[in-house]
Amino acid sequence: MLTRNRIVLQRMMAFDLFVCHALNRCVARKEIKRLFSIISRLGDGLFWYVLILLLPVIYGISAVPVSLRMSLVGILGLIIYKLIKSLTERPRPFMVSDTIILGTDPLDQYSFPSGHTLHAVSFTVTGIYYFPELAWFLLPFTLLIAASRVILGLHYPTDVLAGASIGATLAMLIILLT
């Protein structure tokens, strides 16, 4: 049983790396690298901080609790992803394969899970729950952030999926509990 599990895990890791290579080829085109680098940089936090601050300006005082929930989900997400990264210490794809081109500088050393994706999904789920009309903009932006992480050689697809799952779960918990 242990050998079978190990084989399955090795195949998953090989597929993860295969997808990284396939998507990372995009950064050979300067305009694509620039676009996804900008998207990734916005996902560092700037876009989300501006959104949190603008919600009360756009929607009035009733949006203050939503901004506070988004702030809470952001803080909890940061704690969770830093804890998981310190426990797993998974190296980034560009560190594992010399054929993966680093598209932009990483914010930290490890890849699992994707903090950018975790935060993008948690902020998007929270924002859309209270203001569904924001979906037309937040959903595509969040998908671009998630894609940017793999395209830029910073994350494996499983890092992004884990980040998205954690982010969605965290957002729903905050929505349900507050």
What is the model's pLDDT at position 96? 84
**Given this model, what pLDDT does residue 104 score?**
83
pLDDT averages per 10-residue partition of the chain, 178 residues: 75 87 87 93 92 96 96 95 91 88 85 95 97 96 96 94 97 93
φ and ψ at residue 92, rounded to 5 degrees = -70, 155
- Which pLDDT score is estimated for 1? 59
CA-to-CA distance for 67 and 169, rounded, in angstroms? 18
CATH 3.40.50.150 fits 2-177, yes or no: no
**With contact defined as beta carbons under 8 Å apart, do 85 and 118 qualify?**
no
45 backbone dihedrals φ, ψ, rounded to 5°:
150, -30
- CB neighbours (10 Å) of residue 142? 25
pLDDT at 2: 62
